[in-house]
Structure 1
Amino acid sequence: MAGTIRSVLFVCLGNICRSPSAEAVFRKKAKEKGLLLKIDSAGTQGYHVGAPPDERSVSVGEARGYDFDGISCRKISKQDFHDFDILIAMDEMNLRGLQSECPEEYQDKIKLFMSFSGLEEEIIPDPYYGGKKGFEYVLDLIESSADGLIEHISALIVLED
């Protein structure tokens, strides 16, 4: 993957918990850094198309100052591989799902979110069937990974200048 990143797509299974949270967190962090990016989220499956993000994700995220306005669940499309500069998977299963759907020429756009975190954890676990602590833990991981991805994108901009 070469060049500046101008668009980011966060992807989990149903686009109901993790990827909408990542979208909300990343929107705020990118804005604070002055990065003008297209930021969206999607799911590898279409279980919740058109629904708002999970209320537990919203509750935990809003408590930390994140805004979920305008975010609704959708399934990834073939066009997304062309339209986004980087597609960020929350875990290995969704990484493999993206890789299997992705045309060969765009495979280098697909990354695992935790690879930007600097933490030992390799995936952002799905909190859907758990309690509030799971949603808070997931948000901790998303914040750390988002910070690393912001640094990565900022470094690419500096290299390009």
Structure 2
Amino acid sequence: MNKALPVRVLFVCMGNICRSPTAEGVFGRLIEDAGVAHRIVTDSAGTHAYHVGDPPDPRAQKTARARGIDLSRIRARQVVVEDFASFHYVLAMDDDNRRLLAQICPRSEAHKLKLFMDFAPEWPNREVPDPYYGGPNGFERVFDMVEAAAQGLLADIRRRHLVDD
């Protein structure tokens, strides 16, 4: 990979209003704090078009705000095939969405598709659960999981792409 180009990361869940915008916001804050935001581009999308154009769920925004992260600028969009060529990492929040992504992923880009929690091997859960139908504790748990995976993702990006930093 050309070291001058930014590393591009796409977080994907079902509707792009809970988990993936949370991951986008958490990771965005992490790379800002680490001083590498100029080298990494983040985005989020959903496998379904249920909420296209909508802001993140108010409960996700409230949880993020309580931790100093603003998700209000994010708007839901649906993932498109071109995303696989545009992004270096396409990270699904769960196996169902990973399978849906695999159905549209060009074979040549399949190496980019992973579960986000693969970057948090210390967590026993391999999937970030959908908090949409749960209470506020579900959003807190998702946030904790996302923070752990975000740390691992940044370490992976540093090792693989930002070795000169």
Q: What TM-score bracket applies, with the shorter chain setting the length?
A: over 0.9
TM-score, L = length of structure 2: 0.92
TM-score, L = length of structure 1: 0.94
Query: C-alpha displacement at 1:38, in angstroms?
Result: 1.1
1:6-85 paired onto structure 2 within 5 Å: 6-35=7-36, 36-85=39-88
How many residue pairs get aligned? The number is 160
- Which residue identity lines up with residue 107 of structure 1 in the other structure? A
Secondary structure, aligned partner of 2:82? helix
1:89-133 per-position Cα deviation (integer Å, ceiling 9, x unaligned): 000001111111101110000010111012111100000000000
CA RMSD of aligned residues (A): 1.6
Secondary structure, aligned partner of 1:78? coil
Distance 1:100 1:48 in 2: 21
Given that 1:56 and 1:132 are in contact with CA atoms closer than 8 Å, whether structure 2 keeps it comes out as yes
- Which residue identity lines up with residue 155 of structure 2 in the other structure? E
TM superposition outliers: structure 1 runs of 4+ over 3 Å: 2-5, 157-161
1:55-83 per-position Cα deviation (integer Å, ceiling 9, x unaligned): 00000011001121420000001111111
Q: State the match for 1:155 in structure 2.
A: 159
Unaligned runs of 5+ in 1: none
Given that 2:61 and 2:72 are in contact with CA atoms closer than 8 Å, whether structure 1 keeps it comes out as no
Q: State the match for 1:120 in structure 2.
A: 124
- Which residue identity lines up with residue 65 of structure 1 in the other structure? G
| Identical amino acids, percent of aligned pairs | 44
